[in-house]
Amino acid sequence: MSRIAATFERLRAEGRRAFVSYVMAGDPDAETSLEIVKGLPGAGVDIVELGVPFTDPMADGPTIQEAGQRALAGGQTLEGTLAMVRAFRAGDDTTPVVLMGYYNPIYNRGVDRFLADAREAGVDGLIVVDLPPEEDTELCLPALEAGIDFIRLATPTTDAKRLPRVLENSSGFVYYVSVTGITGAAAAEAGEVGPEVARIKASTELPVVVGFGIRSPEAAETIAGVADGCVVGSAIVAQIAEGKPVAEVLDYVATLAAGAHRA
């Protein structure tokens, strides 16, 4: 059983929802970033989503774009991100790690080499936002063959005709984007999200986790309550951007995780 599947199985047995946190690898610098990532499980994070910085992050809002720019300016690379996962795995062999990014760095490295290195480093899943289902042979299917989950995004505009194609080769969990637009753009509303999550769950046995627009423990609790979990990214990255000490960032993450786990 994969780490992701085992995590959701454990949470179901405990009657709890998942809390997924996103941070950008290398932000504000490699050393501080690794310290934050290592501290996330202790703050209540069930799945770590680790951003791979890229020069043209089309799905990301200003907060995460700027985090990627800081990371790139500090010399963060795909290789450095895999090294960060290896360092994390040295002390944690149970918390799933999902890499979120874009196809270009993977393509440049070579798909086969990347997947072998990612598997060896301890990566459990991939979210690659600029590869649609029509391009599954590029990375999705090879990833699945390598034992790495390929997590697909569904959005408010993923209609009944499109949804089966999106779900066809998805694994790990489905990431439901609660609002249209870029990350950090608007607040998620449980009354709108709930029916959409139910629609997706009627078509898949995979857990459905909701992200975008969650900034407070109360919002995490409300949104996680209508899904299998929630993701917080921009709000955490904003804390890092403000230069707050690692301990304060992790304290903030802990409040969000507690909210999600109350659901």
Q: Where are the alpha helices (DSSP H) in 150-211?
A: 163-167, 190-201
The DSSP 8-state label assigned to residue 151 in this structure reads P
Q: What angle do helix axes 217-224 and 246-262 make, rounded to 10 degrees?
A: 40
The chain-wide mean pLDDT, for the chain, equals 95
Note whether 223 and 261 are within 8 A (CB): no
- Residue corresponding to tokens 């304060």: 248
User: Pick the catalytic residue: 27, 46, 49, 228?
Assistant: 49
Q: Residue 178's pLDDT is what?
A: 86
Note whether 193 and 178 are within 8 A (CB): yes
For the segment 186-241, what is each residue's pLDDT rounded down to a tens digit? 566 778 899 999 999 999 999 999 999 899 999 999 999 999 999 999 999 999 99
For the segment 10-26, what is each residue's pLDDT rounded down to a tens digit? 999 999 999 999 999 99
Q: Residue 188's pLDDT is what?
A: 63
- Which residue in 180, 262, 240, 183 sits closest to 36, CA to CA? 240
Of 3.20.20.70, 1.10.730.10, 3.40.50.720, 3.40.50.2300, which CATH number belongs to 3-262?
Answer: 3.20.20.70
Q: Residue 187's pLDDT is what?
A: 62
User: Pick the catalytic residue: 27, 46, 60, 149?
Assistant: 60
Residue 49 appears among annotated catalytic residues: yes
Instruction: Give rounded-to-5 percent helix, strand, coil for the chain.
Output: 50, 15, 40
